[in-house]
Amino acid sequence: MTGDARLSWQAVQEIVRQRIRQRIWKPGDQIPHEADLAQELGCARATVNRALRGLADAGLLERRRKAGTRVALNPIRRAEFSIPLIREEIENRGERFDFRILTREMRPPPPDIQARLQIGEDAPILYLQTLYMANHMPYVFETRWVNTRAVPAAQEARFDTMSPNEWLVREVAFDGGDFALSAISASTQEAFILGCSAGAGLLALDRTTRNGRQMITSVRLVFHAGYRLHTRA
């Protein structure tokens, strides 16, 4: 802030944020259009565009061609939860990361997994159960199906030093996927593995990952009791 220079798009964003915060522009209100704002603030329309687009992405504004830009009626509806990279999450806290493969076999997948992986028959595919630990305490319990039709190399892979997740990340390109968060009641097996009482509420994250049209793997992560996924907006 040497005193002047032309406004950066971040500066424009901050100005708009303030006006919204101070209710100069109220929810539902139209705000001046790009050209006017650019002139008022003494910068290029492109700069205003960049700023407003950002705010729209963040959900603070709603924009439609010709209709103009208005302050979103419901400001905070999006929140980006970053899916934890288990190893990183644990090591960042200075704790010791560790994992143990509990099950590894070829097994015909149940119908819901067949559907998710979009494989028709019930020929066996790779099934893995892995327990991830922080300081030797159970952290998250992973149940994974790998579409060995799409990733045949997974059958030979050894998961002694590299976790199944890390192996897959290295070996196949991911492209997108589906996520679902839900709460489950710990089964006796889950309770035993995670060291909690049966029936405890546990956070479960289901993820199916694809590469183009190929479905690669479907995972359920069941976190230890008390786990929280948080973010700020």
Q: List residues near a second copy by CB under 8 A.
A: 17, 20-23, 26-27, 73-85, 169-170, 173-186, 199-204, 207, 209, 211-212, 223, 225-233
Q: Is residue 39 part of the contact set for DNA (CB under 7 A)?
A: no
> Could you say which of DNA, a second copy, none residue 45 binds, taking C-beta under 5 to 8 angstroms by partner kind?
DNA
Question: Which region, judged by CB under 7 A, interacts with DNA, from 1-9, 73-81, 83-91, 218-226?
Answer: 1-9
CB 144 within 8 A of CB 218: yes
What residue 195 binds from DNA, a second copy, none (CB within 5 to 8 A, per partner kind)? none
Measured from the CB atom, the residue of 29 and 122 that comes closer to a second copy is 29
Work out the widest C-alpha separation in the chain, in whole angstroms. Answer: 69
Convert 56-73 to b/e letters by CB count within 10 Å (16 or more is b). Answer: eebebbbbeeeeebbbbe
Q: Helices 9-21 & 45-57, crossing angle to 10 degrees?
A: 60
Phi-psi region at 77: left, alpha or beta (left = phi > 0; alpha = psi -120 to 50): alpha
10 Å CB burial of residue 207 (0-12, 13-18, 19+) is middle
Residues in CB range of 23: below 8 A, 6 or more apart: none
Residue 10 binds which one of DNA, a second copy, none, with CB within 5 to 8 A depending on kind?
Answer: DNA
Q: x/- site string to DNA, residues 128 to 157, per CB under 7 A?
A: ------------------------------
3-class DSSP assignment, residue 63? strand
4 vs 156 by CB, closer to DNA: 4
Q: How far apart are CA 225 and CA 65, in angstroms?
A: 47
Cβ neighbours of residue 34 under 8 Å, at least 6 residues apart? Answer: 45, 48, 49, 52, 69
- Choose between 4 and 228: whose C-beta lies nearer to a second copy: 228
Q: Which residues between 41 and 100 bind DNA (CB under 7 A)? A: 42-47, 49-50, 52-53, 56, 63-69
Residue 47 binds which of DNA, a second copy, none (CB < 5-8 A, kind-dependent):
DNA
Q: Which is nearer to a second copy, 33 or 207 (CB)?
A: 207
Instruction: Choose the stretch contacting DNA; rule: CB under 7 A; options: 38-46, 75-83, 90-98, 193-201.
Output: 38-46
**Chain residues that interact with DNA, rule: CB under 7 A:** 6-11, 33-35, 42-47, 49-50, 52-53, 56, 63-69
